[in-house]
Structure 1
Amino acid sequence: MFVIFGAAGPVGRMSATVLRRAGREVRAVVRHVEQGAPLAAIGCEIAVADLNDAASLVRALDDAHAVQMLCPVPRAHDDPAAAMRQTIDASVAALRAARPPHVLALSDYGAEHPHGTGITTLFHYLETQLRGIDAQLTFLRAAEHMHKWARVLPMALAKGVLPSLHHPLDKLFPTVAAEDVGSLAAELLLDDSRAQASPRVVSVESDRRVSALDVARTLAEVAGRPVVAHEVPRDEWTVVLRHAGLGELHTRLIVDLYDAHNAGRIDVEAHVSERRFGATSLAQALAALLTRVSDAAANAR
């Protein structure tokens, strides 16, 4: 049994789909029962679990051969770092109790750094805590997900301006489509061909690094309307993020993350990581995001 946590999200959904196409039994773990319907339609067993409840996690892990673990950053929480650490602790306790042979953790570029990188330090905590369990470990470190641009697409399309915390605008950075992360995760879960070092660290990004200027130019081409990149001044980041609905502590995590990005600290840990590259282009990812934004706007009418 392959157990996929966060199966309702784009990464987990793709992992479950690839595993089902390979003929494997998949238990898709979701937070709410209604999220399970599309996964059940492709033949997944559905389990509902609270990521902060070790007992419900142990039940979801019953008879697991391999597990894909996701610990999301809780955007709405007053203290997202403390909340995510609580989720990680509950997940690790459940894994110790259930003892699945293989655990793949969805991690992040820069997870080797214990401090100074904002949100990425939480993935360092995840990897550190998982090292204490008795299992074959795979850490899949992904570059910045392309779908994160969805948060600013409506404004970019309405005003023709794409705000960016990446400085300077022509600085290249790694990025990847969520679907490519999910597909690779499934491939790694299926890989029983040879004994692997534990933890096995694998990085994934697209085959072409991009800049904020590239994102704006590609969005303009896909949308068929002018869009220019705008470098949000560093001293305005906090106000902009708070205005977008983030709490004070979450805002600090984002500010620290982009300070580290812009200083060049968030990248592949090349000497320990196997490097893989996703096939989805930025244009393809943005086209899919535009479709979702348009569908959401139409449904809201």
Structure 2
Amino acid sequence: MFTIIGATGHVGGAAAANLLDGGAPVRVVLRRPASADDWAARGAQVAIADLADTAALTEALRGSSGAFVMLPTDPSGGDALHRGLAASIATAVGASGVPHVVLLSSIGADLPDGTGPVRWLHVLERALGETDAVVTAIRSWHFQEKVEEILPAVLGEGAFPVFGESADVPTPMIATVDIGAAVADELRSGAARSEIVDLDGPIHTEREVAGVLGGLLGRELTVVPIPQAGWVESMTGAGVPERLAGELAALYGAGERGLLQARGDRSRRCVTPIEVTLRRVLQKASAEVAGS
């Protein structure tokens, strides 16, 4: 039995679907029962547990041969909340006896601070390493789906904002369906020792992404680099809570300074083209508008 935390998210959902499609027994852990029937209809067991409820999470993990864990970012939560969630997850892993855990981490999680929300993944990596479980930490670069965060500006104003001094910095960008496949493969393999796996993928600049997205939309997008001094104000103006905007600004700043580097034990290549992912993002957005 493989247990998946965060099945309603991009990566957790992709991992659970991959395992189910391959005939593996899967238990999904949901915070709320809203999507429980959908997962049950697909053949998954369903457990309801909040990540802060260590006892419930322990029971949800118990009996698993492997589990996928991730640490969501609470937009209104601060440092203490996220460190508390990391502690709860690690405690539940240790108490449940699950032998192998695959963690969704991030490039930059090797650094203890200066990386905004990624520093909490550093905390979780360390905490999981103190349990008896074998830990496979998957560190990914940018998600290709991150364009969802700026889609309102793209669709409403034809603008493609870039949080950086330049829109021409080549960066690996990875589709979450590929990350989910990596999670599923690692769970099925049952690692013998703890490792950090860096995900590599197609390399693009933000300007190139804007060009592909504009082509799919049939319009030219205006690429708007935003200087560092305007990052927080731009994000809060778009509705991002001020605390989260500050954390994201710290992460973007780490990227600008070249602090985010692949430093894992091995790497895995991901291949989904950016155009495929952007087409999915636009289809999803269109379906949501039609259903509203």
Indicate the TM-score class for this superposition, using the shorter chain for normalisation: over 0.9
1:239 shift after superposition:
0.8
Corresponding residue of 2:188:
190
Alignment partner of 1:268: what SS? coil
CA distance in 1, matches of 2:254, 2:62: 40
CA distance in 1, matches of 2:244, 2:26: 34
1:145 shift after superposition:
1.0
CA distance in 2, matches of 1:169, 1:83: 34
Alignment of 1:236-275 (within 5 A): 236-269=230-263, 272-275=264-267
1:297 shift after superposition:
1.7
Would you say the 8 A contact 1:217–1:228 is kept in 2?
no
1:254 shift after superposition:
0.7
Task: Give the AA of the match of 2:286.
Answer: S
CA distance in 2, matches of 1:85, 1:167: 31
1:277 shift after superposition:
1.8
RMSD of aligned residue pairs (Cα, Å): 1.4
Would you say the 8 A contact 1:109–1:266 is kept in 2?
yes
Q: Tell me the TM-score normalised to structure 2 length.
A: 0.96
Q: Structure 1 stretches of 5 or more lacking a match?
A: none
Would you say the 8 A contact 2:90–2:127 is kept in 1?
yes
1:151 shift after superposition:
1.7
CA distance in 1, matches of 2:290, 2:153: 16
Instruction: Rate the CA distance shift 1:210–1:167 in 2: closer, same or farther, 3 A.
Output: farther
CA offsets, 1:140-190, max 9 Å, x none? Answer: 111111112112112212222100113311011121111110111000111
Q: Paired residue for 2:203, among 205, 209, 216?
A: 209
Alignment partner of 2:29: what SS? strand
Q: Percent identity?
A: 30
Instruction: Give the length in aligned residue pairs.
Output: 292
Task: Give the AA of the match of 1:202.
Answer: V
CA distance in 1, matches of 2:12, 2:36: 12
Task: Give the AA of the match of 1:196.
Answer: A
Give the stretch that moved more between structures: 166-175 or 287-296.
Answer: 166-175
Instruction: Rate the CA distance shift 1:197–1:40 in 2: closer, same or farther, 3 A.
Output: same
Corresponding residue of 1:174:
172
Instruction: State the 4+ residue runs in structure 1 displaced beyond 6 angstroms.
Output: none
CA distance in 2, matches of 1:214, 1:284: 14
Would you say the 8 A contact 2:62–2:97 is kept in 1?
no
CA distance in 2, matches of 1:289, 1:21: 22
1:78 shift after superposition:
4.3
Alignment partner of 1:174: what SS? strand
CA offsets, 1:29-85, max 9 Å, x none? Answer: 11111222332222100111110000110110121110100111112x242x32221
CA distance in 1, matches of 2:177, 2:238: 26
1:18 partnered with 2:18: yes
